Amino acid sequence: AILRTRPRPIPASWDPHWPGRAVFVTAIALVAWSLVAEPWALTGDALVYLQMAAGETVQAPFGFRVLAPWIAGILPMAPVLAFELLSWASLLVAAVALVAFARASAEPAEADRRGWIVLAFFVTSYALVYYATASVRVDPLALALLAGCLALLATGRSAGWVALLMVPTALAHETALVLVPILWLDRLCGAGLLGRRRLSWGALLGITTVGAAAYLASRALLPAAAPEGQVSYLTTPSAILAHVIAHVGGVVKHGQRIYAAYGPALVYAALAGVALMRGRARLFVPGVLALGVGLTLLATDTLRVMAVLFPVVLLFAAQLVEVAWTRRGPALAVALVGAQAV
């Protein structure tokens, strides 16, 4: 019974062809970026994930991110090609889910425009460009699951399905569980992230419980080796912050890397979250961005950590462009998109 849901009425402006068009545009972007990108060497994380695809046990936290290496390991092709295929497929799914989420957050008459603006931001974002060109990564599958969960909730599907998806999400990459605090912030602030839908406290608690259980179970049951020579808040709480800041090149460089994860879209999202919202809803976007910045202090991959916020950042950035077009005319909107393209 928890998985049962009522069918939603189809809006008069519904375009049945938008998923195919979103896939086509994203596929063109994937090919284009792969042609102009510099080649990535198979070092660091990539070598660890290739070991996992071959069935070897590796150190934590890599050893807990088993879903993508397992899929790559069972595909009938060379492991590197399998990872590349999985990454591209995941990014295509993420694009469709992101557009579905964006469309559901808008009024029916505005759904097409918002969906295309968000897709334009996505195909020029770090989240797509990096993972389209880095051969062996596990993050794209996690991003697809994250966007898929938001799309399911925004389009009225049962929260029970999303709770079940917390299990593969935790096994893909733990950072995708950022969905849980985002949903809590949305509920507490009344930001309307899911459009007309408002999650009940019971549904939110169910998603949180399954997500936390999946995370803890993966740590307890998966045979990951103990990390060697790594600092963390659990082992050396006084050293980890200094380690992260020193690794990225100082506080100023760290701030530049946070901005570089999105470019002007990050500023657009922040402005939209404050200027276009009312009351406590104004706290939502700053809260999500603060959450992302906090997570960057747990790891040295600043841009990759910030990338998990892409559904929220790109949605609110698109809303600012929409309002600029409506209130100030197309020139300002085009300038905003042009600045992002540059």
- At 159 the pLDDT is 95
Residue 154 CA to its chain's centroid (Å): 15
Q: Identify the residue whose tokens are 């890397």.
A: 257
* pLDDT < 70 stretches in the chain: 1-15, 228-239
Would you state the pLDDT for residue 200?
A: 94
pLDDT in tens, 152-185: 999 999 999 999 999 999 999 999 999 999 999 9
Q: What is the pLDDT of residue 39?
A: 78
- 93-127: per-residue pLDDT in tens? 999 999 999 999 998 888 999 999 999 999 999 99
C-beta neighbour count of 279 within 10 angstroms: 9
Quick one: how many helices (H) and strands (E) in the chain? 17, 0
Residue 163 burial (C-beta neighbours within 10 Å; 0-12, 13-18, 19+): buried
So what's the pLDDT on residue 1?
Answer: 43
> According to the model, what pLDDT value does residue 2 have?
46
Write out 143-193 in H/E/C secondary structure: HHHHHHHHHHHHCCCCHHHHHHHHHHHHHHCHHHHHHHHHHHHHHHHCCCC
The four Cα atoms 168, 39, 48, 56 give a dihedral, to 10 degrees, of 90
